[in-house]
Structure 1
Amino acid sequence: MCLVAIAWKTHPRWRLLMAGNRDEWHARPTAALACWTDSGIRAGRDLQSGGTWMGLDGRGRAAVVTNVRDPFATTIGPSRGGLPTGFLETAAGAPAHVEALAAEANAFAPFNLLVADAGACVYLGNHPRVERRAIAPGVHGMSNGGFDVAWPKTRMLCSVMEKWIESGHGDFDPLWNALADGRIAPDAELPDTGIGLEKERMLSAAFIRGPTYGTRASTIIAVDHEGKGWIHERRFGPEGVFLGETRLRNDDAPMPDVGAT
């Protein structure tokens, strides 16, 4: 997951909203959004390392992880995809889970992790140093920098979410359209993460289209104040070709079929 906007306790209906894109190599084996039979998590699954990037459990708890871009940092360590599942597979509250995980955060390659339960939304990052904090109500964003670092695509997605909440409309199309935005940011607004200008340009789009690397999934999670909610995933192949979508509720009630491929 390389871009996500989060609205925490700021929408009249939804306690938590997450809207994000997972960018990855197209050759990396991945399973579509499903209810995992071994844990009940609703998430897509990385079949190479076994984890996920964004998921929801039956109690309305959610988690999302992004990588932190630093070409000089180590990539050795446990899979970062295990960070969201590590929270969703336990009964621990978000603050307690992050407190315990912080002690071993440096074992992982650079990451941003956000976990939320009924009472708290908590951030943990490990680059350039271990940092944890409770998230205040409002709209926040993460990409491949730190938490709430205002990269162009993060600013755009957060702005769209804020305006959508203010509008009072229930139609999620504005969020989907923002996740599908392939515009490249102006050079003057690009971060310098050590990968060169050409790659910074390519990766500045919210939705990345490429033959070997790009946006693999767009996902929205919505959880109401009673802990009931849903997760909706749209999947893409090389050059952004649409492959299918799946929607699941976290209480096992059926949702309209949207082609669960």
Structure 2
Amino acid sequence: MCLIVFAWKLLPYTPLVVAGNRDEFYERPTAAASWWDEEPRVYAGKDLQAGGTWMGITRKDGPGSPAGRFAAITNIRAPSEKRPDAPSRGKLVSNYLHGDMSAAGYVEQIRDGAPAYNGFNLLLGDGENLVWFSNRADGDERNGKPLPPGIYGVSNALLDTPWPKVVRTKAEFASLICQRAPEDAYFEMLSNSTQAPDCRLPDTGVSFEMERLLSSAFIESPAYGTRACSLVRIYDDKPADFLEKVIR
């Protein structure tokens, strides 16, 4: 994923609502979200090149069981630090979904090995807690951050870094949450291709033209862009929703 906005523990009976766009090179082979044959509890898209995923959920085991798990990842844009031999970040998501560790326990397990990966933001939900972890965070946040109730946004920098598309999409998302808006409204939000004013573009080490292209929530270019828009809702008392619109 390259843009995720989410509401945690703000709505009754719906502790988590997530909307996000996955941006990727069009040539990278991908499977749309579905139940995985090798792990029937997992519902997620699949990166057919490296085998991991960018966002997924698990089903509840049965009536009265704890809420299903949730995980998602975004890359941190830092081209000068990128290592071509680094392991796939998508495996951090799929490995969590395949297991049964708590979010905090999984962070503790992967923390020491996290510097081997290129930069990432990882969101992990276990039914009780939602944890943000990044291998580029500083201070106490290097150990993962359990999130209090609120509305959050993350793109290709650390959590809630005020990039224009994060600020704009969080505000619209908050309005939709308050309105109890229908599903189509979230997908309309995610399809916004308005680019940020040049004076508000971040400087992440790519060209100015690329910064402009990447500044919109929905990205379109000849070789790279938004390939899927997703809406996930985790409920207290019924199976989760995972709605996906595949673009290409």
* TM-score, L = length of structure 2: 0.91
C-alpha distance after superposition, 1:30-59 (max 9, x if no partner): 011110011121011000000000001113
Matched, 1:226 2:237: yes
Instruction: Report what 1:186 is aligned to.
Output: 197
Instruction: Report what 1:113 is aligned to.
Output: 122
2:234 is matched by which residue type in structure 1?
Answer: V
Matched, 1:150 2:162: yes
Matched, 1:43 2:82: no
Contact 2:25 2:225 survives alignment (8 Å): yes
1:78 is matched by which residue type in structure 2?
Answer: P
Distance 1:61-1:126 versus aligned 2 partners, 3 A rule:
same
Shift of 1:172: 1.8
Q: 1:34 is paired with a residue of what secondary structure?
A: strand
Q: 1:162 is paired with a residue of what secondary structure?
A: helix
Instruction: Report what 2:209 is aligned to.
Output: 198
C-alpha distance after superposition, 1:76-99 (max 9, x if no partner): 321001011111100111111112
2:180 is matched by which residue type in structure 1?
Answer: G
Shift of 1:13: 3.5
Contact 1:118 1:227 survives alignment (8 Å): no
Instruction: Report what 2:63 is aligned to.
Output: none
Which is further off, 73-82 or 213-222?
Answer: 73-82
1:132 is matched by which residue type in structure 2?
Answer: G
Shift of 1:164: 1.2
Distance 1:109-1:227 versus aligned 2 partners, 3 A rule:
farther
Contact 2:108 2:143 survives alignment (8 Å): no
Shift of 1:158: 1.2
Matched, 1:175 2:186: yes
Q: 2:152 is paired with a residue of what secondary structure?
A: strand
C-alpha distance after superposition, 1:139-170 (max 9, x if no partner): 1011001111111111122111211121134x
Q: 1:64 is paired with a residue of what secondary structure?
A: strand
Shift of 1:12: 2.2
Distance 1:227-1:62 versus aligned 2 partners, 3 A rule:
farther
Unmatched 5+ stretches in structure 1: 238-261
Matched, 1:93 2:102: yes
2:152 is matched by which residue type in structure 1?
Answer: H
Give the root-mean-square deviation of aligned CA atoms.
1.3
2-side partners of 1:172 and 1:123: how far apart? Answer: 25
Instruction: Report what 2:59 is aligned to.
Output: 58
Instruction: Report what 2:135 is aligned to.
Output: 126
Size of the aligned set, in residue pairs, is 236
Instruction: Report what 1:30 is aligned to.
Output: 30
Shift of 1:11: 1.6
1-side partners of 2:170 and 2:96: how far apart? Answer: 25
Instruction: Report what 1:74 is aligned to.
Output: 82
Q: Which structure shows the higher helix fraction?
A: 2
Shift of 1:175: 1.2
* TM-score, L = length of structure 1: 0.87
Structure 1 runs, 4 residues or longer, greater than 3 Å off: 128-131
